[in-house]
Amino acid sequence: MKYVFLFFTILLGSMCANADSPQPPGLLESLNYEADGEKFRAEAILDDGNDCDLVIYNIKNEKDPILLVRKNDFLTCTSRTDVAGRIHRFKLNSHGGLQASSTWAESGVGRDHWDETITIVHRNGKIWVGGYSYKTEDDITGYRHDCDVNYLSGHEDIIDRSDSREPTYHYHLKINTPIPLLSTWSKDHQPPRCKPAEN
């Protein structure tokens, strides 16, 4: 009888813990991280279309997180079970910047694939977009186009190849674009050479 009571006690405690921390509907990915001397949590939430909303909380008090920003349609996303093979992930780069990525690979032959990444940095109590990259490649034709913009250093790197019979061109360009705040960032801010292709 003692063991039965203990089992129900543990079960009830687990149920209460889950009730205290419900998962947001449509949550695809989340990551807790530290930056600028604070603790944060980033979440990718699938909306009703084919895009993800980015949500960032200050979690200094994990029981009472403070919503800092919610960016609608931040990345091109679908559910993890989508047959097109999209993958969504958060990771920290070597400088501590948060990288939010969406990767797509055509199912079957794996011919067409692309990767879109936005790098987010915390500085002086504000959240900035430190960089943006978009890379696409066709494994059959050999077409390749990479665009990597670093707003912090003011540089843009381009790699272009029209098909497997043509040479690959590399460009390192200087840009004068101000570092955008995350709160004002939208898909319209993507550099013209980095516009994602329609799939």
Alpha-helical segments (H) within the chain: 2-20
pLDDT tens digit string along 133-189? 988 888 888 888 899 999 999 999 999 888 888 888 888 888 888 898 998 887 677
Q: Is the residue at 106 inside a domain?
A: yes
pLDDT band for 22, please (50, 70, 90 cuts): low
The answer to whether position 88 is within a domain reads yes
Instruction: Report the domain count for the chain.
Output: 1
In a domain, 52, yes or no: yes
In a domain, 27, yes or no: yes
Please tell me the predicted confidence (pLDDT) of residue 86: 59
Distances (CA, A) of 188 to 14, 49, 149, 198: 45, 18, 14, 15
pTM of the model: 0.76
Cα radius of gyration rounded to whole Å, the chain: 21
Residue 188, domain member (yes or no): yes
In Å, what is the CA distance from 50 to each residue of 47, 84, 152? Answer: 7, 12, 30
DSSP state of 145: E
44-102: pLDDT as tens digits: 887 766 677 889 999 988 888 999 998 887 776 655 544 455 567 889 998 889 998 88
CA-to-CA separations, 119 to 5, 48, 137, 151, 159, in angstroms, rounded = 50, 24, 21, 10, 19
